Amino acid sequence: GDSVTQTEGQVALSEEDFLTIHCNYSASGYPALFWYVQYPGEGPQFLFRASRDKEKGSSRGFEATYDKGTTSFHLRKASVQESDSAVYYCALGDANSGTYQRFGTGTKLQVVP
């Protein structure tokens, strides 16, 4: 079945560091790909999505490019801030049902000043 893999469970950075969180997927066709961010005590919040090869999504300084060749949708940010500390989830939309999103295991980002 469709799945999404995030390799980093936790990432620790200093402010102004460059961030990369890896996301790889396994699915047929062109599933929609999403990034969500979750702060403590809150529900996940949508960051952005992409649904076509080479399409770039971006929001709040974060960006990711849909790459069908490498089946990836890696999250990047050029300069992180302490306020970016949160859990980030990559999610995959089921292209067959059209209405189901499967979340990756999540990456906890901790940014220290």
Partner 1 sequence: NTKITQSPRYLILGRANKSLECEQHLGHNAMYWYKQSAEKPPELMFLYNLKQLIRNETVPSRFIPECPDSSKLLLHISAVDPEDSAVYFCASSQERGLGENTGQLYFGEGSKLTVL
Residues in contact with partner 1 by the rule CB under 8 A:
30-32, 34, 36, 41-46, 49, 51, 89, 93-106
φ, ψ for residue 83, nearest 5 deg:
-70, -10
**Considering the complex, what minimum distance in angstroms separates the CB of residue 29 from partner 1?**
10
**Considering the complex, what minimum distance in angstroms separates the CB of residue 30 from partner 1?**
8
Q: Please say which residue, 17 or 32, places its beta carbon nearer to partner 1.
A: 32
φ, ψ for residue 40, nearest 5 deg:
-55, 135
How far apart CA 111 and CA 10 sit, in angstroms, is: 11
Q: Please say which residue, 49 or 77, places its beta carbon nearer to partner 1.
A: 49
**Considering the complex, what minimum distance in angstroms separates the CB of residue 55 from partner 1?**
11
Residues 4 and 103 sit within 8 Å (Cβ to Cβ): yes
3-class SS shares of the chain: helix, strand, coil, % to 5: 5, 50, 45
Q: Please say which residue, 17 or 71, places its beta carbon nearer to partner 1.
A: 71
Q: Please say which residue, 17 or 55, places its beta carbon nearer to partner 1.
A: 55
**Considering the complex, what minimum distance in angstroms separates the CB of residue 16 from partner 1?**
28
How far apart CA 70 and CA 100 sit, in angstroms, is: 23
